[in-house]
């Protein structure tokens, strides 16, 4: 049985160098994990395609096609699903957007997987092999059962040289916080942790010393994090991952973080405005603590990728210059910016929908790189221009120099990372996809009407 698994391209955070496309993220675990979950007795041949770095083989002779769908890739996913279904190949859709919008996504597939796939995906494959594919597969088991006995991902099936980091591992799923803009507490109810021995097994299976955790809340369970980092020390790996601003509150945790090989952390600062943080239910971030956090992490040689959003109700046009100044002052090694995006299912989406402030119903605009709602104190154009200006201003060479060469040996590495983002900024200004803040087409209208657009997706901007 031949199964084709696809991650559709969302056109976000990737760069083109000559004829080579490189994703500015770590290698995803979605498809490699799905392949690993397949029952061994079914003798399945998998082909894995991440469309952000490889073209989808539209003529592939698959028996079954599986597509993982994010909100920003939904239109492309529906187009690909239509193509393969017209060829008589059954299509399964799963992923975050399917879990949030099952009725919409079911119209474009023969079967959908709602929620975590660790239990339902093997059953789906077995049902399909026996000729009775169900229409909906949904896992209602407690969160602590999701991550039990997950096999090591099939990294051998995934091209590794198209990503910033090719080795990715997962230790936890879900989050203990409920930020208004975030889909994680909507999709993953609860906070689940893998057995430390299983995480160590996966790390040991990787070639190379560098790896990254894709967990959104790796250190929130402090006792678990300490156990994991202690077990990692003998492996002598170098790693990075996500953490909240509270990561430095526990000196023992921070010490173990460093001894286990941590070299960088991605921190969701979100804003330098306390009213904005309160607005999105992220008051555990305290702007006045940012400086001491940065100093603590830098003192241990840990680089910081800091994320910031624009478009909060308390934001006016002054927020852009103020953010750049503070980012430079704090020496955030690699800043990353986004536009506040009300993903369906979130509290933010429900609030803006009730206030009649949503401007775009085209899922292609839901990529954190477009304005899809009416800001409170700016026009959509002002927010969009400010967002693009912040990227360009932040990654000017003098500003890069001021931020990156205070971290010893890591300084040159961070400098190169900033140059990569500088190339991305040029793309942001020159690519027609980012010419306007949002589309005027609906999701249904944006879906290409014929197969001629499959090789190069149509973007409405």
DSSP 372-401: -B--SSS-HHHHHHHHHHHHHHHTSHHHHH
> What pLDDT is recorded for position 310?
98
Instruction: For residue 259, give the CATH number of its domain.
Output: 3.20.20.70
- Shared domain for 136 and 23, answered yes or no, is yes
- Shared domain for 135 and 165, answered yes or no, is no
Is residue 39 assigned to a domain?
yes
Six-digit token string for 330: 């704090």
> What pLDDT is recorded for position 222?
95
Q: Residue 83: is its pLDDT beyond 70? A: yes
Mean pLDDT of 95-114: 97
Q: Which 3 state secondary structure label does DSSP give 256?
A: helix
Of the candidates 106, 121, 144, which is a domain's last residue?
Answer: 144
Is residue 442 assigned to a domain?
no
CA of 137: how far to CAs of 31, 34, 119, 302, 305, in Å? 18, 14, 9, 42, 37
Please tell me the least confidently modeled range out of 183-192, 417-426, 444-453. Answer: 444-453
- Shared domain for 317 and 406, answered yes or no, is yes
Six-digit token string for 457: 């997706």
Distance from C-alpha of 417 to C-alpha of 170, rounded to nearest angstrom = 24
CB atoms within 10 A of CB 62: 21
Instruction: For residue 137, give the CATH number of its domain.
Output: 3.40.50.280
Distance from C-alpha of 331 to C-alpha of 323, rounded to nearest angstrom = 12
- Shared domain for 111 and 168, answered yes or no, is no
Instruction: Read off the pLDDT of residues 20-41 as tens digits, 9 standing for 90 and up.
Output: 677 778 899 999 999 999 999 9
Report the predicted TM-score, pTM, of the whole model to 2 decimal places: 0.92
Place of tokens 């040159």: 412
Is residue 461 assigned to a domain?
no
Of the candidates 109, 144, 179, which is a domain's last residue?
Answer: 144
Is residue 358 assigned to a domain?
yes
User: Please, are residues 256 and 227 in contact by the beta-carbon 8 Å criterion?
Assistant: no
Strands 191-193 and 172-174: antiparallel
Which residues constitute the domain of residue 35? 2-144
| Confidence band of 407 (pLDDT split at 50, 70, 90) | low
Is residue 8 assigned to a domain?
yes
Q: For residue 239, which of 217, 265, 269, 210 has the smallest C-alpha distance?
A: 210
Is residue 77 assigned to a domain?
yes
Place of tokens 């770095």: 53
User: Please, are residues 114 and 137 in contact by the beta-carbon 8 Å criterion?
Assistant: yes
- Shared domain for 127 and 164, answered yes or no, is no
- Shared domain for 219 and 340, answered yes or no, is yes
Instruction: Read off the pLDDT of residues 248-267 as tens digits, 9 standing for 90 and up.
Output: 999 999 999 999 999 999 99
- Shared domain for 29 and 159, answered yes or no, is no
Mention every residue, 6+ apart, whose C-beta is less than 8 A from residue 360: 366, 370, 372, 438, 439, 440
- Shared domain for 178 and 140, answered yes or no, is no
Of the candidates 125, 144, 163, which is a domain's last residue?
Answer: 144
| Confidence band of 445 (pLDDT split at 50, 70, 90) | very low
- Shared domain for 92 and 176, answered yes or no, is no
Q: For residue 118, which of 149, 93, 97, 90 has the smallest C-alpha distance?
A: 149
CA of 309: how far to CAs of 10, 155, 368, 423, in Å? 19, 33, 9, 20
- Shared domain for 100 and 175, answered yes or no, is no
Instruction: Read off the pLDDT of residues 304-319 as tens digits, 9 standing for 90 and up.
Output: 999 999 999 999 999 9
Is residue 448 assigned to a domain?
no
Q: Residue 374: is its pLDDT beyond 90? A: yes
Q: For residue 155, which of 72, 54, 46, 32 has the smallest C-alpha distance?
A: 32
- Shared domain for 95 and 194, answered yes or no, is no
Number of domains observed in the structure of the chain: 2
- Shared domain for 225 and 287, answered yes or no, is yes
> What pLDDT is recorded for position 335?
95
CA of 323: how far to CAs of 291, 377, 390, in Å? 14, 17, 8
Distance from C-alpha of 383 to C-alpha of 437, rounded to nearest angstrom = 8
> What pLDDT is recorded for position 250?
93
Is residue 459 assigned to a domain?
no
CB atoms within 10 A of CB 281: 15
């Amino acid at each position: 049985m031949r199964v084709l698994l696809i991650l559709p391209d969302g056109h976000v955070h990737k760069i083109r160098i000559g004829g080579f496309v490189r994703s500015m993220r770590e290698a995803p675990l979605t498809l490699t994990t799905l392949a690993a979950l397949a029952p061994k007795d079914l003798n399945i041949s998998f082909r894995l395609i991440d469309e952000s770095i490889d073209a989808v083989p539209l003529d592939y002779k698959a028996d079954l096609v599986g597509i993982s769908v994010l909100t920003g890739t939904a239109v492309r996913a529906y187009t690909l699903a239509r193509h393969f279904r017209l060829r008589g190949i059954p299509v399964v859709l799963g992923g975050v957007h399917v879990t949030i919008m099952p009725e919409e996504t079911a119209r474009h597939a023969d079967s959908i997987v709602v929620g975590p796939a660790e239990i339902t995906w093997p059953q789906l494959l077995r049902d399909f092999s026996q000729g009775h594919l169900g229409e909906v597969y949904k896992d209602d088991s407690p969160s602590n059962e999701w991550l039990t006995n997950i096999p090591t991902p099939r990294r051998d099936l995934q091209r590794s040289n198209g990503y910033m980091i090719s080795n990715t591992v997962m230790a936890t799923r879900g989050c203990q916080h409920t930020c208004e803009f975030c889909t994680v507490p909507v999709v993953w109810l609860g906070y689940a942790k893998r057995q430390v021995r299983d995480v160590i097994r996966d790390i040991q299976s990787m070639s190379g010393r560098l790896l990254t955790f894709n967990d959104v809340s790796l250190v929130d369970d402090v006792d678990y994090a300490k156990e994991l980092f202690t077990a990692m020390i003998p492996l002598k790996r170098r790693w990075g991952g996500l953490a909240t601003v509270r990561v430095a509150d526990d000196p023992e945790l921070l010490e173990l973080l460093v001894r286990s090989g941590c070299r960088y952390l991605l921190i969701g600062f979100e804003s330098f405005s306390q009213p904005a943080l309160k607005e999105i239910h992220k008051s555990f971030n305290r702007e006045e603590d940012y400086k001491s956090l940065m100093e603590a992490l830098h003192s241990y040689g840990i680089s910081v990728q800091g994320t910031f959003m624009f478009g909060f109700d308390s934001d006016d046009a002054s927020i852009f210059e103020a953010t750049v100044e503070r980012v430079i002052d704090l020496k955030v090694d690699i800043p990353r910016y986004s536009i506040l995006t009300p993903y369906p299912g979130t509290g933010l989406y429900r609030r803006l929908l009730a206030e009649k402030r949503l401007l775009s119903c085209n899922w292609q605009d839901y990529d954190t790189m477009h304005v899809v709602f009416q800001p409170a104190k700016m026009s959509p154009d002002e927010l969009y221009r400010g967002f693009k200006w912040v990227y360009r201003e932040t990654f000017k060479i003098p500003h890069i120099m001021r931020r990156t060469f205070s971290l010893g040996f890591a300084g040159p590495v961070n400098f190169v990372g900033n140059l990569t983002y500088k190339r991305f900024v040029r793309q942001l200004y020159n690519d027609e996809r980012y010419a306007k803040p949002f589309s005027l087409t609906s999701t249904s209208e944006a879906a290409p009407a014929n197969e001629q657009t499959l090789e190069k997706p149509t973007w409405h901007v």
